[in-house]
Structures are given as C-alpha cells and as structure tokens.
Amino acid sequence: MKHLLLLCLLALMFLFAGCKTDSQFTVAYLTPSENRVRFVEEGQAMGQRFRELGVNFSIVYAGDDDALQIQQGLDLIERGVDALVITAVNGNTIAPLIREAKEKGVMVVAYNRLINNSEYDLFYAGDNGHMAKAFVDAAVSRAPRGNYVILGGDRFDRNGVELMYHIDSLMLPHIESGRINLLYSTFLEGWSRSRAAFEVQQVIDAHGSDIDAIIACNDAMGLGALDVLQANNLQGKVVVTGQGAELESIRNVHRGFQTVTIYHPPKELGSKAAELVYEMLNGRSASQIANAHSFNGLAVIPTFQMKSIVVNRDNLQYLVDAGVFTWNQIQE
C-alpha cells in the first residue's frame, strides 16, 4: 500500500511538473514610468494573472525615456523573453525595437498606445469611440447650447488623435446647427495638467469667462481646467470631463465640479491582456482574438478593444463597491 501511494505521488509530481514546463513562458511589460499610476496598477494585475497561468513575468519602467525603453527591450530580447507587452513612451521612435523583436521571433503586443510604422501581433486598447461619446453626451446633456472648449491628448499618441476624431465627429451636428459655438480646440503634449491650465486661461483672456463646457480628454487636463475655473470663480458652473478616475477628480465629481470621468478597471484590463497573450503564446492567432483593427501607418494591426466604466455623480457607489475608494476618501 505504501509503495502504491508513493508511486501515485510520484506520478502526480511528474504530471504537474510536465504541465508547468508546457506552459512556462517569459513575458515582460515595458511601461513608461512608475509615476503612471494607471499603467502600474494594470501591470500588477497583468503580472498576477500571468503568474496564475505559470508564466514568468516582469515589469520594466523607462522613466519616460524612449531611448532607455528601446534599450530595455533589446536587453530582454537577448535574455530570451517570449513576448513583450509595450506601453510605448513614444510610439514613433520605438519601431527599431519592434523590428528586432519580430526578427528574433518575440511576440509584441502594444498596450493602450498604438506603435506606429511597424508590424506586430496585437494592439490592446480602450474603446476611444465609446469614451468620446461619454464625453460629448455628458457635455451636451448639461449644456445643449453655448461655448465649448476641447482639450485633446497628445497629438503623437494615437489615443489622443482617435479621441479627437470621434469627439469632432459627434460635435459636428451640434456646431453646424448653431447650438454650440466651438471657442477653441487643441491637442496637449503629454496630456498635461499645467498645459491645460495655461490653454484655458488663454481662452478666458481672449474670449472672456462665458464658457459652458470643457471637454478634457483625461483627468489631468480636466484638473488643469478646474484650477483655472476656480481662480476665475467659475468652478461648478462649467461642464468638465476627464478620464482615469483619479481620486482628486472623483472628489470633484462628488462635489459637482467635474461632470464625468472614465474608470479603467485595472484588474479586468490587466488580467484580460495576460489571458490574450497566453492564448497567443499557446498558438491562437491574433485574428481569432481581435474585435477591431487599427492602421498604424504601415500595417493593419489586429486590435482588441475593452470598454471602460463611465462614472458620474450618480454612480460613484460603483467605485466604493469595487473597493477602489471609500466614501471617506471621496468626501475628504
């Protein structure tokens, strides 16, 4: 009996060891900076799911230095990584790394930011059309007439360009009807709070304080707009949008100063990305996974889009129930 038990245990150990060997891959996530809270959290969720799947995983931060990110990727390729998931510091300059990866048979997934002018396996992204509609719907429902300002993201980030394209398309009928007057529209380098504040102050200096809505494409720019609105006694009188669900922005939503933000649930986003990469490493094609396609200037890249959560004053409880923030944090 003891011998039989020992043989069963050895067989189980052999079986588990074999399964681990079959599923053992090495994946690295190249992300811009430790200061990009969203990408850090999503990377951590990605790592947790990869480890559950038996995959070796590491996160590498580039300090917002595109040259450093390229070198980090080249080093990982030399060390034998099976796949690179990349949120590019600069989607235009990283192409040499992508070419090297493909030559060495390393899978490449662009995460959230499209990588331009190179061929790779998959683009994993949010749904910019969905977010643009959330911004415009929130603004037009609160301010169906009046003067608008649009603060787009970085013109060198595909997300910034796509968001602006969708916002422009959705706003066009309202502008052509004469109900909405577009005072000013611009892209902002780095999706920057300080730059947004500068631009909004310039608009007020040029056109006065008669502003009804500011469609800002992320929370940082929305906060920059609110900094200026507060200084000009306009806080709470102007529709302001954003995305990211940063705590400061959520507090402003609760107070009625910011109208809407978009929550990107890091666990769901990171976990799903890990699962898709794992499926491709095990032979599933990107075309089977894709629910959209994106042209990056050279190639049409299979794309998987994930919708995020629209958050306003009426559904803040969702974030509390999800454990993102407590009411004490929101109400501070």
Res. 223 pLDDT band, cuts 50 70 90: very high
Kindly give, in sequence order, each residue whose CB lies less than 8 Å from that of residue 207, ignoring residues fewer than 6 positions away: 147, 183, 184
Average pLDDT estimate for 171-198 = 97
Q: What is the pLDDT of residue 158?
A: 81
Cα–Cα distance between 63 and 134 in angstroms, integer? 32
Res. 37 pLDDT band, cuts 50 70 90: confident
Q: What is the pLDDT of residue 38?
A: 83
Burial label, 317 (beta-carbon count in 10 A; 0-12, 13-18, 19+): exposed
Between the CA of residue 258 and those of 76, 215, 216, 270, what are the distances in Å? Answer: 42, 10, 10, 27
Domains 13-120+266-304 and 128-264+310-331 share a fold: yes
Taking 80 as the threshold, does the pLDDT of residue 293 lie above it? yes
Give residue-wise pLDDT tens across range 110-161: 999 999 999 999 999 989 999 999 999 999 999 999 999 999 999 888 889 9
CATH of 128-264+310-331, one of 1.10.3720.10, 3.40.50.2300, 3.30.390.50, 3.30.420.10: 3.40.50.2300
Give residue-wise pLDDT tens across range 197-218: 999 999 999 999 999 999 999 9
| Residue type at position 171 | M
The vertex-178 CA angle with 176 and 179, nearest 5°, equals: 115
CATH T-level fold of 13-120+266-304:
Rossmann fold (3.40.50)
Taking 50 as the threshold, does the pLDDT of residue 15 lie above it? no
Taking 50 as the threshold, does the pLDDT of residue 1 lie above it? no
Q: What is the pLDDT of residue 8?
A: 38
Q: What is the DSSP letter of 59?
A: E
Residue-level length of the chain: 332
**What residue has token string 């794992």?**
278
Give residue-wise pLDDT tens across range 44-90: 999 999 999 999 999 999 999 999 999 999 999 999 999 999 999 99
Q: How far apart are the first and last CA of the chain?
A: 66
With a threshold of 0.85, does the pTM exceed it?
Answer: no
Contact criterion met (CB below 8 Å) for 172 and 206: no
Domain ranges of the chain: 13-120+266-304, 128-264+310-331
Q: What is the pLDDT of residue 281?
A: 97
| Residue type at position 224 | G
Neighbours of 58 (CB within 10 A): 14
Higher pLDDT, 3 or 263: 263
Q: What percent of the chain has pLDDT over 90?
A: 88
Contact criterion met (CB below 8 Å) for 73 and 97: yes
Res. 221 pLDDT band, cuts 50 70 90: very high
Res. 233 pLDDT band, cuts 50 70 90: very high
Q: What is the pLDDT of residue 62?
A: 96
Burial label, 270 (beta-carbon count in 10 A; 0-12, 13-18, 19+): buried
Classify the phi-psi angles of 120: left when phi > 0, otherwise alpha if psi is within -120 to 50, otherwise beta: beta
